[in-house]
Amino acid sequence: MAADHHPRFLMCPPNHFAVTYSINPWMDPEGWRERADTLAQTSEAEWRSLKSLLEQLGAIVDLMDPAAGAPDLVFTANAAVVLDGTALLARFRYLERRLEEPHFAAALKALIGRNVLKRCAFLPADIVLEGAGDCIWDPERNLFWMGFGPRSSKHAAAIIRETFGFPTLSMELIDSRFYHLDTAFSVLAEGEIMYFKEALSSSSLHKLYERVDIRDRIEVSEEDACTMHLNAIRIGRKLVLSSCSSRLRRQLADRGYSVSITSLSSFNLSGGSAYCLTLRTDLSSDSRLLASNIYSESDT
Ligand code: ARG
């Protein structure tokens, strides 16, 4: 990253955030209703702290308008896949979230208007892909790690390769608690992969082991995964998380990563955490690697 380059994120204020339906095992609308007022205040405060922490770490945060009736709009990671100024607008599996699509489209258009992004691309009608939640850029290998199963279709990988011109590696998600790849898988600056093994199918794990050297694999416990320790925002060697076990923190420190913690307990009740609440809009590929012979699956 050049010295004057600021990481840039899209976020959506949580004015209308709540758990009003259940599309993943963490969401309990009744439990939320019992403490709705307190939780609304908590989410407001937690979201603000996350935003200021990112700003303290040198990031620019662009905001989009919240919308009544779209409580999960705060999870902007799901808005699109972004690389090199192109944003591929998401399509959601569940109707509850499909109504977010026009809001995200408008937000991306506004970012194009302000020269943060260059263009917006769209998925074919029959393909679901829930944005950066299921499509994680790997800056070291210059490829996308993609999650499929609970939310995104396997066939989305071909569209990603076509749209961005980079290889993909698809990971099948087999545990409903880890419904987006970003809940079970994190890519660190030097290409280390932090992941929860049991969330991935055995053939996907095999693919991961083939592609990632054992020294670059950081396997986390079920407890770490369930407390969303994998849902990390990465700014160089700094990670932003809603909590972190001392064991994982030590492991990360040994590899030169520092962890900043900011509580996101109210968002955890919706199955989301730090990475989910942000969409990185300034990611760019290293064109020097374009011509190299990176292995890519072609049969997805
Ligand atoms: N309640 C939201 C859902 O189930 C949470 C989304 C979290 N986002 C993410 N990228 N994991 O869709």
**Amino acid 299: pLDDT:** 43
Query: Kind and range of the H or E element at 169?
Result: strand 168-172
The protein residue whose alpha carbon is closest to atom 6 in ligand 1 is: 272
For 203-233, what is each residue's pLDDT tens digit? 999 999 999 999 999 999 999 999 988 999 9
Helix (H, G, I), strand (E, B) or coil at 30: helix
Q: Indicate which atom in ligand 1 lies nearest the CA of residue 27.
A: 1
**Amino acid 286: pLDDT:** 73
177-191, 238-252, 283-297: least confidently modelled range: 283-297
**Amino acid 295: pLDDT:** 43
Alpha-carbon distance of 255 to 243, in angstroms, equals 18
Residue 150 has pLDDT above 60, yes or no: yes
- Closest by CA to 72, choosing from 19, 126, 120, 28, is 19
Residue 191 has pLDDT above 90, yes or no: yes
Q: Is 180 a catalytic residue?
A: yes
By the 10 Å C-beta count (0-12 exposed, 13-18 middle, 19+ buried), 117 is classed as buried
Task: Report the DSSP beta bridge partners of residue 204.
Answer: none
For 244-286, what is each residue's pLDDT tens digit? 999 999 999 999 999 999 999 999 999 999 999 999 999 999 7
**Amino acid 297: pLDDT:** 57
Classify residue 115 as left (phi > 0), alpha (psi -120 to 50) or beta: left
Q: Rounded to two decimals, what is the model's pTM?
A: 0.94
**Ligand 1 touching residue 272 (CB < 6 A):** yes
Write down all domains in the chain, each with its CATH number in brackets. Answer: 8-285 (3.75.10.10)
**Ligand 1 touching residue 182 (CB < 6 A):** yes
Helix (H, G, I), strand (E, B) or coil at 251: helix
Residue 3 has pLDDT above 60, yes or no: no
Contact call for residues 118 and 112 (beta carbons, < 8 A): yes
Per-residue pLDDT band for 5 (boundaries 50, 70, 90) equals confident
Task: For residues 17-24, give the mean pLDDT.
Answer: 98
For residue 250, which phi and psi values (nearest 5 degrees)? -65, -45
Catalytic residue among 12, 135, 180, 244: 180
Complete DSSP assignment for 56-77: HTT-EEEE----TT-GGGG-GG
Residue 296 has pLDDT above 60, yes or no: no
**Amino acid 287: pLDDT:** 54
**Amino acid 39: pLDDT:** 98
**Amino acid 4: pLDDT:** 64
For 78-123, what is each residue's pLDDT tens digit? 999 999 999 999 999 999 999 999 999 999 999 999 999 999 999 9
Residue 291 has pLDDT above 50, yes or no: no
Alpha-carbon distance of 75 to 42, in angstroms, equals 16
Residue 180 has pLDDT above 50, yes or no: yes
- Closest by CA to 78, choosing from 103, 113, 112, is 103
Task: For residues 160-180, give the mean pLDDT.
Answer: 98
**Ligand 1 touching residue 72 (CB < 6 A):** yes
**Ligand 1 touching residue 183 (CB < 6 A):** yes
Alpha-carbon distance of 120 to 115, in angstroms, equals 12
Residue 298 has pLDDT above 90, yes or no: no
For 48-73, what is each residue's pLDDT tens digit? 999 999 999 999 999 999 999 999 99
Q: Is 276 a catalytic residue?
A: yes
Distances (CA, A) of 126 to 7, 77, 154, 242: 33, 21, 12, 35
Write out the two tokens for 264: 């996101």
**Amino acid 229: pLDDT:** 86
